[in-house]
Amino acid sequence: MMTELASSPAAAAAEPKTVPPFAVISGTQVQQVLQGREKEVIELVEQTYRVHAAGDTVNPPSYFLRFPDRPTSRIIALPASVGGQVEVDGIKWVSSFPDNVASGIPRASAVLILNDQATGYPLACMEGSIISASRTAASAAAAADWLSRGRGRPRRIGFLGVGLIARYIHTFLKATDWSFDEIGVFDLSGESEEGFKGYLERSGTGARVTVHDGPEQLIRSSDLVVFATVAGQPHVHDTTWFAHKPLVLHVSLRDLAPEILLASTNILDDVDHCLKAGTSAHLAEQKVGNRDFVDGTLADVMEGRVSLTDDRPIVFSPFGLGVLDLAVGKYVYDELAGSGQLRVVEDFFSELRRYG
Ligand SMILES: NC(=O)c1ccc[n+]([C@@H]2O[C@H](COP(=O)([O-])OP(=O)(O)OC[C@H]3O[C@@H](n4cnc5c(N)ncnc54)[C@H](O)[C@@H]3O)[C@@H](O)[C@H]2O)c1
């Protein structure tokens, strides 16, 4: 359903605008589009990093809504705009309620709103948690690929914190032809360790899976270390645990003490974003009073502006950019629109004449 908009005199000469249809996109629909498309999603995320680095995005700081009476919970607003081939504006509104997992439901829930760049009208309200987990895992898989070039692909991976994000990261690595001899697992919750082990078995991994009883042994025995905990402050302090110079995907951002970052090569997704909100990179900046420990962004590595050495650990810290959610969300939207599966709410916008 396309409805004609009343034009203002100034706009009359320009091409007439129309109010786009508004769709509601369920998690099942999102999953149907994204499942099996991990390679495309990684390419899209890489392309979006390039567009962001080229300055063709708007990605203001995320807004953290926190609650004095519920200090572990938060809801984050990530407004953004993407140019390039994607051309969409919008916002992700994502809750993190870590206590949810005790009841067996995921920590994070989200909606993603896409806005039409011509009229500003919202095009869709989509289930956002699958898009968010997919873009996070795609970014981690892209980093694992680009940052291990020149060192050889790690065959021993260790997951510290094994919830939904760890599962998505493993799925995206597997879908892009990573295979492992050994998979290490450590989580503060035995239930999470069991759940993740069960997932690994069902995924058909040929790797030997070892559940460690602490982070030290897991880190020392892994060449690719994935942090996906919900730690609010650093709990890993000892630089000697990283003496074998692993590649570290610090997806949960707040696990590592500043000393570890200061002794590593640091690649971020966006420098200004990452040095905020009490991340380990932010703490490192506060400790030394400068940003010299930051070597560059993943886009810098992809475009050859930064080259990597193998004489230190590499830590990738992705703050998580709203532009990635929009790019993946628009991909899902376009796939559904192209196959006639958009569920349009016909009368969603009903006040369409300025003077009635
Ligand atoms: N950087 C990004 O773009 C991005 C995007 C999405 C999620 N995340 C982050 O990823 C993390 C994981 O998200 P999730 O949805 O999988 O959460 P989840 O709650 O499903 O799983 C987190 C797991 O970490 C475990 N854990 C907590 N503290 C630990 C510690 N000190 N050592 C070992 N295990 C510990 C918990 O027991 C739990 O099993 C969160 O911190 C989230 O904010 C980052």
CATH of residue 156 = 3.40.50.720
Q: What is the mean pLDDT of residues 72-94?
A: 96
Site of tokens 């270390």: 225
Q: Give dist(CA 248, CA 318) in Å, integer.
A: 11
Q: How sure is the predictor about 7, in pLDDT bands with cuts at 50, 70 and 90?
A: very low
- Ligand 1: nearest atom to the Cα of 107: 19
Indicate whether 177 and 309 sit together in one domain: yes
Query: Does 148 map to a domain?
Result: yes
Beta bridge partners of 226: 159, 249
Query: Does 122 map to a domain?
Result: yes
- Domain count along the chain: 2
Whole domain around residue 92: which residue ranges?
20-131+323-338
Indicate whether 150 and 59 sit together in one domain: no
Indicate whether 334 and 282 sit together in one domain: no
Count how many Cα atoms sit within 13 Å of the Cα of residue 18 in the half-sphere of its side chain.
7
Determine whether the shortest distance from the Cβ of 73 to ligand 1 is under 6 A.
no
Indicate whether 314 and 328 sit together in one domain: no
Mean per-residue pLDDT of the chain: 95
Indicate whether 277 and 226 sit together in one domain: yes
Q: What is the mean pLDDT of residues 232-247?
A: 97
pLDDT digits 0-9 by tens, 246-272: 999 999 999 999 999 999 999 999 999
Which one of 76, 135, 165, 275 would you pick to mutate in the ligand 1 pocket, going by the greatest count of ligand atoms within 8 A of its CB? 165
Q: How far is the CA of 148 from the centre of ligand 1 (A)?
A: 23
Indicate whether 55 and 196 sit together in one domain: no
Query: Does 15 map to a domain?
Result: no
Q: Whose CA is nearest to atom 5 of ligand 1?
A: 136
Indicate whether 208 and 274 sit together in one domain: yes
pLDDT digits 0-9 by tens, 307-335: 999 999 999 999 999 999 999 999 999 99
Phi, psi of 176 (to 5 degrees): -110, 35
Q: How far is the CA of 107 from the centre of ligand 1 (A)?
A: 9
Query: Does 79 map to a domain?
Result: yes
- Ligand 1: nearest atom to the Cα of 189: 37
Determine whether the shortest distance from the Cβ of 107 to ligand 1 is under 6 A.
yes
Q: How far is CA 200 from CA 168, 173, 281, in A?
A: 11, 12, 31
Q: Give dist(CA 308, CA 285) in Å, integer.
A: 21
Q: Whose CA is nearest to atom 43 of ligand 1?
A: 252
Indicate whether 177 and 166 sit together in one domain: yes
Q: What is the mean pLDDT of residues 114-142?
A: 98
Indicate whether 95 and 27 sit together in one domain: yes
pLDDT digits 0-9 by tens, 93-124: 999 999 999 999 999 999 999 999 999 999 99
Query: Does 330 map to a domain?
Result: yes
Indicate whether 247 and 171 sit together in one domain: yes
Which residue blocks in 83-228 are alpha helix, DSSP H? 129-148, 164-175, 190-202, 215-220
Determine whether the shortest distance from the Cβ of 192 to ligand 1 is under 6 A.
yes
Q: How far is the CA of 245 from the centre of ligand 1 (A)?
A: 23
Q: What is the CATH number for 41? A: 3.30.1780.10
